Amino acid sequence: MAATEASPDHSAQTAAPPAAPAAPPPAWAGDPNTVGLPSFILGVVSLGLTLVGVVPATAGGAPLAIILAATSTGLLVTTIWAAALGQSAVAGVYGIFFGFWLSYGVLVLGLNHNWFGPGTTAAAVSTIELFLIVWLIIVVMLMLASLRLPLAFTAIFAFVAVAVVLVLISYEQASAGLAKAGGYFVLASAAVGIYLFFNSLSVATGGKPLPLGTPVLHG
């Protein structure tokens, strides 16, 4: 009887090739926070100082030059940068704050030029309250979504949320004191932002990261 030939082993041919190692990030990647955080701080400090009374109440548009030319531009650049790196969460947060500062500039300009209806005090207050309520919802959403992040990030959103609540109540009760208190919480969020910037710059220059606090939620 003729010897039968052994069937060829195709396992080596059909086995999946090993996965290629992940490509290193491009040389231009960097850290978008090194631009985003200073841009955020600029707007927050200028608005906080306005609320606490560094400029007269009649000069509510004083921070617009900083907010529209520096903060909004910087946050837009940061959003695009983070999205290009695939950092969707970072791009989302900075994109939201870009929308906030740009809409704040439009709000102040609109109130000063009667874009939103009759130039009455009641109409202006209603417009501001609508603006604050909508953005309060978004800031609280960000705060809750950040509970698994280091505590410093949650603290920024919490300070901003408290500030928005105080300013909203100040318009409902015509209380300059509450608006001023809101300004101090705005400045507190700027202080946390400065700490986060030092952390990002330390890492970017080869140093160690700073402690950012334990997340509220784990797992």
Does residue 50 fall inside a structural domain? yes
20-73 pLDDT, tens digit each:
555 555 555 789 999 999 999 999 999 999 999 998 877 878 999 999 999 999
Does residue 24 fall inside a structural domain? no
Does residue 95 fall inside a structural domain? yes
Contacts of 103 (CB under 8 A, 6+ apart): 131, 135
Residue 103 CA to residue 217 CA, distance in Å, equals 32
Q: How many domains does the chain have?
A: 1
Does residue 15 fall inside a structural domain? no
pLDDT at residue 82 above 70?
yes
Residue 50 CA to residue 98 CA, distance in Å, equals 19
The token pair at 19 is: 């996965």
Provide the pLDDT confidence category of residue 1 given band limits of 50, 70 and 90.
very low
Candidate from 8-12, 75-79, 163-167, 193-197 with smallest mean pLDDT: 8-12
| Location of structure tokens 């631009």 | 35
Does residue 188 fall inside a structural domain? yes
| Global pTM value | 0.84
Does residue 219 fall inside a structural domain? no
Q: Which of 109, 99, 186 is nearest to 134 (CA)?
A: 99
By CB atoms closer than 10 A (0-12, 13-18, 19+), residue 43 is buried
Under DSSP, the state recorded for 85 is: T
Q: Are 168 and 133 in contact (CB under 8 A)?
A: yes
| Location of structure tokens 């005090």 | 121
Domain residue limits at 163 = 32-204
Does residue 217 fall inside a structural domain? no
The token pair at 194 is: 């400065």
Under DSSP, the state recorded for 205 is: T
Residue 50 CA to residue 59 CA, distance in Å, equals 8
Residue 44 CA to residue 187 CA, distance in Å, equals 7
How does the average pLDDT of the chain come out, rounded?
89
Does residue 10 fall inside a structural domain? no
